[in-house]
Amino acid sequence: MAGISIKLTREDTDTLARSLEIKHRTSSFSTPSFAVSPSQIDGVVVTERDLRGLIEVPIILRPDALKRMRQDEALQRRFEQRINRKIRRIPADQLVVITPLFEGSYSEDSEIRTYGTYAADLVANPRAGVVATPAFHLSNEKFIVGFTREFLEAIAAHGVHVALTIPPFISRETLEKLIELYMSFANENERYLTNLLCVDYNGSNPISRYTLHNFILRFARAIEAETGEPVAILGLNVKYSKLALKYDELPARDLASYFVQLDAYAANHKRIPIPGEVIEKSKREKKFEERLKILSRNFYAYVSLPRALSEHALSTREKEQLQKLLEDAEEPHGRNLPKRIRSFNAKLIISEALTLQQSLKEGAWGPFESSRNYLESKKSLKEDAESIKRINKLTEQFKPKSDKLDSFF
């Protein structure tokens, strides 16, 4: 099999939600899906039994660290061993997607050539099913295309399959250059995939980043019209909101993004800058437990821990699991609890994705007439008129349309 193959299983009639079957060299899985990271598989909250076919292995790269590793073989070996340990823990039937995140920039052409090549050599792990081109953070826009070109040229020697990552907050001119660069490689080598597109939402989500996602859907539609195969969209660095500290309840726009054709997504790994005064105010006004957010599938919201335990935000079983997690936490007010909460939320996302898979495949939404009714039954989304408005707008725009790749640029 060349890379991965994708088949449309079912398309929702009322929204852009859909179910895809994604086959790779060892197995297959269905979407909507959540890309669990190895750090979330703690063996306590999230176990191997919870996995549903897709694993994201994020790798953070920084200019100073790359320079030190290139000069010190022992440092490079330790770096590679850390990556190998993460991947060895993953069952063989999971599709492993390595997602490099480069933080920083180079200014000299010689550095871009050297370290673009070196970054590809470091992350091209043979156990991975797919290696994405780097996402970028705190990077000079002028550096991105050149670094990606060197990365793409170097990774060809490793025989791995590659997927394009669309970075956020770059000009349309640079974005189009990046796409044209990648497509030039894809036209020459089938290992450069055109049926999987990674998108960096930069600690946000497709609904909040409406303009970016609009572009992504148009680009994906153009490729689909050209190739005749669905393009799976994998969101990277997805989060429900950047304002988590500020509010007791926020809409789960990450979950709702499944209904605007986000086929799968992975959690945020970027350090989101939060003003110091916001942090201090939160510490003064909110207890530690109130700052922790729990996903409510009932409300399609992230609510504070006390509210999750006291209201009807969770099912009886979910509440029992959360209470047990709190009892078992070694340090209720230390580092252990936030990590367990992240794993708990990941497990809830996996469960909701599985529910959506079944509903899409069967074309039935339980007591609800349609997917739209299902969404509008969720308390937090019902109160978030902007989310519903954007979901409806994207649905109206993209349901009937398809463009050729030639007309995209």
Provide the pLDDT for residue 299: 96
In the structure, what pLDDT confidence band is assigned to residue 352 with cuts at 50, 70 and 90? very high
Answer yes or no: is pLDDT of 399 > 80. yes
Residue 283 pLDDT: 54
Distance between CA atoms of residues 298 and 65, nearest Å: 44
The tokens for 87 are: 């991947």
Q: Does residue 68 lie in a domain region?
A: yes
Alpha helix ranges (H) inside 109-192: 109-123, 141-155, 172-186
With CA atoms as reference, report the closest residue to 264 among 94, 143, 146: 94
Q: Is the pLDDT of residue 261 over 90?
A: yes
In a domain, 149, yes or no: yes
Higher pLDDT, 388 or 284: 388
Pick from 151-165, 246-260, 286-300, 314-328: least confident = 286-300
- The predicted structure's pLDDT at residue 17: 97
Q: What number is the average pLDDT over the span 273-287?
A: 56
- The pLDDT, as a whole number, for residue 223 is 97
What confidence score (pLDDT) does residue 100 get?
Answer: 97
d(CA 117, CA 109): 12
DSSP conformational letter for 167: P
Measured CA to CA, the distance from residue 109 to residue 146 in angstroms comes to 8
pLDDT of residue 153: 97
Q: How far is CA 378 from CA 251, 292, 388, in A?
A: 10, 21, 11
Which residues span the domain enclosing 126? 5-274+374-407
pLDDT of 372: 93
Q: Report pLDDT for 107.
A: 87
User: What CATH number is given to the structural domain containing 266?
Assistant: 3.20.20
CB-based contacts of 115: which residues, under 8 Å, 6+ apart?
A: 63, 66, 67, 70, 106, 147, 150
Q: Which of 30-44, 232-246, 255-269, 392-406 has the lowest mean pLDDT?
A: 392-406
pLDDT band at 277 (very low <50, low <70, confident <90, very high): low
State the average pLDDT over residues 335-350: 90
Structure tokens at 113: 């050539």
Is 177 part of any domain? Answer: yes
pTM (predicted TM-score): 0.93
Residue-wise pLDDT tens digits, 94-111: 999 999 999 999 989 999
Contacts 24+ apart (CB under 8 A), 344-347: 344/45, 344/294, 345/293, 345/294, 345/295, 345/302, 346/34, 346/36, 346/40, 346/45, 346/46, 346/267, 347/45, 347/46, 347/50
**Does residue 331 surpass a pLDDT of 90?**
no
Asked whether residue 394 carries a pLDDT value surpassing 70, the answer given is yes
Residue 409 has pLDDT above 80, yes or no: no
pLDDT of residue 276: 58
Residue 320 has pLDDT above 90, yes or no: yes
- pLDDT score, position 1: 46
Task: Say yes or no to pLDDT of 337 above 90.
Answer: no
pLDDT tens-digit readout, 62-84 = 999 999 999 999 999 999 999 99
Categorize the per-residue pLDDT at 333 as very low, low, confident or very high, splitting at 50, 70 and 90. very low
Ramachandran bin of 366, using left for φ above 0, alpha for ψ from -120 to 50, beta for the remaining angles? left
Average pLDDT of the chain is: 91
Reduced to 3 states, what is the DSSP secondary structure of residue 133? coil
Q: Is residue 77 assigned to a domain?
A: yes
SS3 assignment, position 35 = strand
Cα separation, 361 vs 366, whole angstroms: 13
Q: Give me the phi and psi of 45, to 5 degrees please.
A: -85, -55
Residue for token pair 């993209």: 398
Q: Residue 248: which pLDDT band, with cuts at 50, 70 and 90?
A: confident
Band (407; pLDDT cuts 50, 70, 90): low
3-state secondary structure of 61: strand
Separation of alpha carbons 399 and 92, rounded Å: 36
Who's near 362: CB < 8 A, 6+ residues apart? none
302 contacts: CB under 8 Å, gap ≥ 6:
240, 241, 244, 249, 250, 252, 293, 294, 295, 296, 345
Query: Which amino acid is it at 400?
Result: P
What does the buried/exposed string (b/e) look like for 130-144 if buried means 16 or more CB atoms within 10 Å of the residue's CB? bbbbbbbbebeeebb
Cβ atoms 341, 292 nearer than 8 A: yes
State the Cα–Cα distance between residues 295 and 347, nearest whole angstrom.
10
C-alpha radius of gyration, the chain, whole number: 21
- Please give the Cα distance from 356 to 350 (Å, whole number): 10
Residue 336 lies in a domain: no
How many independent structural domains does the chain possess? 1
Longest dimension (CA), the chain: 62
- Phi and psi at 255, nearest 5°, equal -65, -45
Distance between CA atoms of 154 and 308, rounded to whole angstroms? 49
Residue 203 lies in a domain: yes
Distance, in Å, from the CA atom of 94 to the CA atom of 41, rounded to the nearest integer, reads 13
What pLDDT sits at residue 295?
97
CA distance 312 to 314: 6
Q: Which of 162, 168, 98, 107 is nearest to 127 (CA)?
A: 98
Give tens-digit pLDDT for 146-156. 999 999 999 99
Pairing of β 33-35 and β 95-103: unpaired
CA distance 52 to 125: 22
Strand ranges (E), 159-300: 162-166, 192-204, 232-238, 249-251, 264-267, 293-296
What mean pLDDT comes out for the span 278-292?
62
**Is 348 in a helix, a strand, or coil?**
helix
pLDDT digits (tens, 9 = 90+) for 167-192: 988 999 999 999 999 999 999 999 99
